[in-house]
C-alpha cells in the first residue's frame, strides 16, 4: 500500500523559520525589562546553613529580592517530569537548609540586569557547618552518613526506597535458577562494567520566563519536554493550586532528556509568585554542566553463561546506580539497564536482574536519551563480546545463534512478544555494509597502526506501557483547513512534522492544510510529554484515532448539507460525495458553512495508551584504528542498521540516528565527568568536558530494515533513543580486536589503551 505522506522524506514543517533564524525560543519571548534571576551555589558537597546574611546584597541598586530557605514552602517534591504518582521520591525543597552537592542552591537573587545580580551574589554572607560527604557510590548504601536524614522525605510508589539507608530504589526479578544454569555452562563471563554521568550538552541551556497575567495566574514559558508535568511540579513546589499555573512550551533548542527534569523552572517561578513581577532564569553553560540532570553513573556486574554450542543459557545482572543528591529518575532509569538488554537474547533459560540506586553528595542525575538501557547495553553487549572471544567464535555468529526473533516471547520484558523484529536482517545488512568477514577481527596497516572491528545490538521501547498517555485534538476551520493541537513537545526531533504527516495521510489532504499548534497547558490536550521514545508510537496512534472520528463527523455534516443519508456518502478528503447521485460538497464549503446556523462542532479529540511497548532494534558496527605506540584511537567507520517498524519520515529518522550515534560515540570515547576529593566538579566547561564535533565521529552510515508493528500507527515504532546504545560496546570490542585491550570503564581513552597494552 503506497502512502502519500507516511514513509516520505517531507521537510520539517518549521524548516523555513529554522534556516532563516526566525524560530522563537524562550529567551526571545521574555520581556526586556523583566527581573534577572540567579542562584547562589554551595561551595561544599555536604553542609548545613547556620546563618545567612542578605542585608548588604539587598542594598545593591536594582535588586528586587534575595530569597533563602526561610522564604520557601517546607513541602518536599520531585523535579522529575513523570506521570503521577511519580516513582521518584519527594526529596527536594526549592531552597533547603541542608546543601547536598557542590553547586546546590543556597539563595535566589532577582534584580534588574546581570551586573546588579552578580554583585549581590558576592555580598551574601553564609556560615556553613561543613559535614562529611559521601562521594563514592559504592560505599553509599547503609552508610552512617545520610544524604536525606529529614523526616518529611517521602516515596509515593513502592520502589524499594529508604532514605535512612541512602536508598533511592531497590528491586530484584528473576526466572529460573540462574545460579544453577550458569554453573552448568561450558563458557562463563563474570565482569564489572562502569559508565559515567554524561551531559546531554544540548545547544540551548536550561531557561524559563515567568510572569503573572491579568487574572492572577502564574504563566511559565519554559524550554521543557514535559509542559504538563511542569505544571504539577510547580504546584507542588510552590504549594499552590494547579489551576493557578499555565505552562507554554515554545521552540526548544534540544533536550535529549535533560529537560524532562525541572532544572530552572522553580527559581523564577518563586520570584514571580512572591513579587508579582516577571522574571527569567538563563543557565550559563557552566551551570548546565555542574547543576543539571546528567545520565546516571552505573556500575553493572554481569554474569553470562553459554553451552558448548554457544547457546546463551543464563544472564545475571546487578546494577548499582548513582542518583546523586536527589532521586530524579533514579527508580525508573535503572530498570532499563536490565529490562532493555536481557530480552535481546531469546534462548536464555534463566535470568536474574537486581539493582540498587543510591544517594550520594554529587550533582543529581536525571534522564538522558537511552535512559538506563545505554548503561546496561554497554555492560551486557561487552560481556557477550568477551564470551565470543572465550569461545573463539565470531561475535556476529554468536549473536545470530542467540538473538531474539519475531514471534518470540522476550525474557525479562514483562511477558511481551516480539511482534515486529527485523534484528536478524539488521545484522545481515550491517555485516555486508562493514564487509565484516574480511575485516574481522583486525588488519595490521603496516604503519604501526591496527584496525579492528566490533559489533553490538540494542533495543529500546516505544513509550512506557500502560503508563504513557497522549491525546490530540483536530478542528476544522473556515475554508476547511485543519488545526492539529498536540501536547507532545517537539525539541528539534520533528514530531510536529511526523504527526502532521500522519494526519494528512489519514485525512487525505495536503500537509499544507494542517496547522500544527504547539503546547500550552490551557489549550493543548493532555500528553505525558516527549520522553521514553513515545511520540511517534503513542501520540501517533492518538492522531490516527482522532482522524477516524473527525472523518465520520465531516461525512455526517456533508450528508446533511447534501440532504441524503450518511450511508450514501463517501468522504475522499477533499469532498463529500453522494455515491448514488454523484452530487458533492467540498471540504472548504463545509468548513465555511458550519460557521453559520450550526449545531455540531467539527472537532475531535481522542487519546491513546498502549498495554505494550514494542521495542525498536538496532545493530551497530565500528571500525577503529589504534596507534600501537601511543594507544590513540580513531573511529574510521560506523555502520548502523535500525528496525523502527515503518519509517514515518526517512530524512528525520536518519538525522535522529546520526545525532544519537554522535552522542553515543562521545560517551564511548571522549566524555568524562571528573570530581576532586571534595566533590567539586572539574568538568565545568567544554574545554574540560569534551564532546565530539562532526569531525570527531568519523564516517557514519545509516540504513533501515523495516518491520511492521501491528499496534503502532502505520506499523511504526520509536526511533529517538535506540540510536545511542550501540557505540560504547561496539567501539570497546573493536579496540580489543585491534590490540587485545579490554576497556570496561568509559570513556575509552588513549591512556587506558596504552597502559592496557603495557600489561
pLDDT digits (tens, 9 = 90+) for 354-373: 999 999 999 999 999 999 99
What is residue 638's three-state secondary structure?
Answer: strand
Q: Which helix (H) or strand (E) element contains residue 630?
A: none
- φ/ψ of residue 562, rounded to 5: -85, -5
**Residue 518 pLDDT:** 86
What is the model's pLDDT at position 236?
Answer: 97
Alpha-carbon distance of 2 to 511, in angstroms, equals 16
Residue 143 has pLDDT above 70, yes or no: yes
pLDDT surpasses 90 at 175: yes
**Model confidence over 246-258: pLDDT tens digits?**
999 999 999 999 9
Alpha helices, H only, 421-567: 423-434, 436-439, 495-507, 540-562
Q: Give the tens place of pLDDT for each residue, 255-310.
A: 999 999 999 999 999 999 999 999 999 999 999 999 999 999 999 999 999 999 99
Asked if residues 549 and 557 have their Cβ atoms less than 8 Å apart, the reply is no
To the nearest whole percent, how much of the chain has pLDDT over 70? 100
| CA-to-CA dists, residue 316 to 171, 179, 336, 376, 389, angstroms | 14, 8, 14, 12, 19
Bridge partners, residue 455, by sequence:
621
Cell of 321: 546506580
Q: Is the pLDDT of residue 321 over 80?
A: yes
Would you state the pLDDT for residue 100? 98
Q: What is the dihedral of CA 442, 447, 448, 451, to 10 degrees?
A: -20
**Which residue in the block uniquely carries the three cell numbers 529529614?**
150
At residue 32, the pLDDT reads 96
Distance CA(437)–CA(439), nearest Å, equals 6
Alpha helices in 14-159 (DSSP H): 15-19, 26-29, 55-58, 114-122
Distance from C-alpha of 352 to C-alpha of 628, rounded to nearest angstrom = 39
As a whole number of Å, the CA-based R_g of the chain is: 27
- Number of neighbouring beta carbons within 10 Å of residue 491: 27
pLDDT at 551 over 90: yes
Least Cα distance to 502 among 551, 557, 528, 539 occurs for 539
pLDDT tier at 229, thresholds 50, 70, 90: very high
Three-state SS letters, 405-455? CCCCECCCCCCCECCCCCHHHHHHHHHHHHCHHHHCCEEECCCCEEEEEEE
Give the per-residue pLDDT at 1.
59
Query: For residue 723, how many other CB atoms are within 10 A of its CB?
Result: 30
Interatomic CA distance for residues 669 and 661, integer angstroms: 12
Nearest 5°: phi and psi at 725?
-85, -25
Please count the helices (runs of H) and the strands (runs of E) in the chain.
19, 27
Report percent pLDDT > 90 for the chain. 98
Q: What is the pLDDT of residue 754?
A: 98
C-alpha torsion 565→566→572→576, nearest 10: 50
Sign of CA dihedral 34, 77, 243, 84: positive
| Averaged pLDDT, 607-614 | 97
Residue 514 has which C-alpha cell?
A: 494542517
The stretch 632-656 carries a mean pLDDT of 97
Average pLDDT, the chain: 97
Q: What is the pTM of this model?
A: 0.97
The mean per-residue pLDDT over the stretch 30-52 comes to 98
Beta bridge partners of 632: none
The residues near 661 (Cβ < 8 Å, ≥ 6 apart) are 620, 638, 640, 697, 700, 702, 723, 724, 726, 727
Question: pLDDT tens digits, residue range 556-570?
Answer: 999 999 999 999 999
Q: Residue 745 pairs with which residues in a beta bridge?
A: 194
Look at strands 514-517 and 482-486 and give their pairing. parallel
φ/ψ of 520, rounded to 5, equals -145, 115
**φ/ψ (deg, to 5) at 450:** -125, 140
Q: pLDDT tens digits, residue range 388-428?
A: 999 999 999 999 999 999 999 999 999 999 999 999 999 99
Amino acid at each position: 500500500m503506497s502512502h502519500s505522506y507516511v514513509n516520505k522524506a517531507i521537510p520539517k514543517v518549521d524548516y523555513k523559520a529554522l534556516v532563516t533564524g526566525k524560530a522563537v525560543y524562550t529567551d526571545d519571548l521574555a520581556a526586556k525589562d523583566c527581573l534577572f534571576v540567579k542562584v547562589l551555589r554551595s561551595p561544599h558537597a555536604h553542609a548545613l546553613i547556620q546563618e545567612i546574611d542578605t542585608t548588604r546584597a539587598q542594598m545593591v541598586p536594582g535588586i528586587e529580592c534575595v530569597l533563602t530557605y526561610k522564604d520557601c514552602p517546607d513541602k518536599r517534591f520531585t523535579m522529575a517530569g513523570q506521570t503521577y504518582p511519580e516513582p521518584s521520591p519527594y526529596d527536594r525543597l526549592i531552597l533547603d537548609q541542608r546543601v547536598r552537592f557542590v553547586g546546590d542552591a543556597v539563595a535566589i537573587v532577582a534584580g534588574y540586569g546581570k551586573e546588579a545580580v552578580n554583585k549581590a551574589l558576592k555580598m551574601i554572607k553564609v556560615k556553613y557547618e561543613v559535614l562529611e560527604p559521601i562521594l563514592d557510590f559504592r560505599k553509599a548504601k547503609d552508610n552512617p552518613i545520610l544524604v536525606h536524614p529529614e523526616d518529611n522525605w517521602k516515596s509515593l510508589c513502592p520502589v524499594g526506597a529508604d532514605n535512612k539507608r541512602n536508598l533511592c530504589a531497590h528491586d530484584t526479578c528473576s526466572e529460573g535458577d540462574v545460579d544453577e544454569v550458569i554453573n552448568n555452562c561450558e563458557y562463563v563471563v563474570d565482569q564489572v562494567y562502569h559508565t559515567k554521568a554524561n551531559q546531554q550538552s544540548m545547544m540551548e541551556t536550561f531557561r524559563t520566563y515567568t510572569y503573572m497575567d491579568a487574572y492572577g495566574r502564574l504563566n511559565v514559558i519554559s524550554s521543557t519536554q514535559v509542559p504538563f508535568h511542569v505544571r504539577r511540579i510547580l504546584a507542588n513546589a510552590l504549594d499552590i493550586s494547579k489551576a493557578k499555573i499555565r505552562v507554554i512550551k515554545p521552540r526548544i533548542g534540544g533536550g535529549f532528556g535533560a529537560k524532562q527534569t525541572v532544572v530552572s523552572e522553580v527559581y523564577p517561578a518563586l520570584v514571580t509568585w512572591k513579587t508579582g513581577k516577571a522574571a527569567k532564569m538563563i543557565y550559563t553553560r557552566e551551570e548546565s554542566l555542574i547543576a543539571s540532570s546528567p545520565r546516571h553513573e552505573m556500575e553493572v556486574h554481569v554474569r553470562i553463561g553459554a553451552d558448548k554450542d554457544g547457546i546463551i543459557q543464563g544472564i545475571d545482572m546487578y546494577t548499582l546506580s548513582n542518583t546523586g543528591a536527589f532521586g530524579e529518575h533514579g527508580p525508573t532509569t535503572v530498570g532499563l539497564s536490565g529490562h532493555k538488554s536481557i530480552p535481546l537474547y531469546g534462548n536464555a533459560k534463566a535470568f536474574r536482574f537486581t539493582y540498587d540506586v543510591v544517594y550520594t553528595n554529587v550533582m543529581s542525575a536525571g534522564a538522558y536519551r537511552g535512559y538506563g538501557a545505554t548503561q546496561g547495553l554497554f555492560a551486557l553487549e561487552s560481556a557477550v563480546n568477551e564470551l565470543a572471544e572465550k569461545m573463539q567464535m565470531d561475535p556476529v555468529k554468536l549473536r545470530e545463534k542467540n538473538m531474539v526473533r519475531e514471534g518470540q516471547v522476550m525474557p525479562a520484558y514483562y511477558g511481551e512478544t516480539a511482534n515486529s523484529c527485523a534484528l536478524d536482517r539488521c545484522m545481515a545488512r550491517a555485516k555486508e555494509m562493514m564487509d565484516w568477514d574480511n575485516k574481522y577481527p583486525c588488519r595490521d596497516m603496516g604503519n604501526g597502526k591496527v584496525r579492528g572491528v566490533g559489533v553490538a545490538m540494542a533495543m529500546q521501547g516505544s513509550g512506557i506501557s500502560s503508563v504513557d498517555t497522549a491525546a490530540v485534538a483536530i478542528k476544522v476551520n473556515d475554508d476547511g483547513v485543519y488545526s492539529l493541537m498536540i501536547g507532545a513537545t517537539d525539541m528539534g526531533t520533528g514530531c510536529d512534522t511526523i504527526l502532521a504527516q500522519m494526519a494528512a495521510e489519514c485525512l487525505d489532504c495536503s500537509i499544507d492544510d494542517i496547522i500544527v499548534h504547539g503546547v500550552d497547558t490551557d489549550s493543548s490536550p493532555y500528553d505525558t510529554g516527549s520522553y521514553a521514545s513515545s511520540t511517534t508510537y503513542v501520540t501517533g496512534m492518538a492522531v490516527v484515532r482522532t482522524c477516524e472520528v473527525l472523518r465520520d463527523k465531516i461525512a455526517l455534516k456533508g450528508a446533511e448539507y447534501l440532504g441524503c443519508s450518511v450511508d450514501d456518502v463517501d468522504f475522499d478528503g477533499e469532498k463529500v460525495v453522494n455515491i448514488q447521485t454523484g452530487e458533492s460538497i467540498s471540504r472548504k464549503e463545509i468548513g465555511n458553512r458550519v460557521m453559520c446556523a450550526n449545531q455540531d462542532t467539527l472537532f475531535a479529540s481522542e487519546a491513546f495508551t498502549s498495554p505494550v511497548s514494542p521495542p525498536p532494534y538496532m545493530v551497530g558496527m565500528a571500525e577503529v584504528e589504534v596507534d600501537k605506540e601511543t594507544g590513540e584511537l580513531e573511529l574510521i567507520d560506523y555502520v548502523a542498521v535500525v528496525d523502527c517498524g515503518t519509517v514515518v519520515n526517512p530524512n528525520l529518522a536518519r538525522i535522529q540516528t546520526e545525532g544519537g550515534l554522535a552522542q553515543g560515540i562521545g560517551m564511548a570515547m571522549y566524555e568524562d565527568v571528573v570530581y576532586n576529593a571534595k566533590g567539586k566538579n572539574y568538568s565545568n566547561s567544554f574545554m574540560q568536558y569534551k564532546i565530539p564535533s562532526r569531525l570527531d565521529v568519523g564516517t557514519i552510515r545509516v540504513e533501515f530494515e523495516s518491520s511492521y508493528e501491528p499496534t503502532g500507527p502505520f506499523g511504526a515504532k520509536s526511533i529517538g533513543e535506540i540510536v545511542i546504545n550501540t557505540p560504547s560496546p561496539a567501539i570497546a570490542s573493536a579496540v580489543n580486536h585491534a590490540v587485545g585491550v579490554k576497556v570496561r570503564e568509559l570513556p575509552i581513552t588513549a591512556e587506558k589503551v596504552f597502559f592496557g597494552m603495557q600489561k
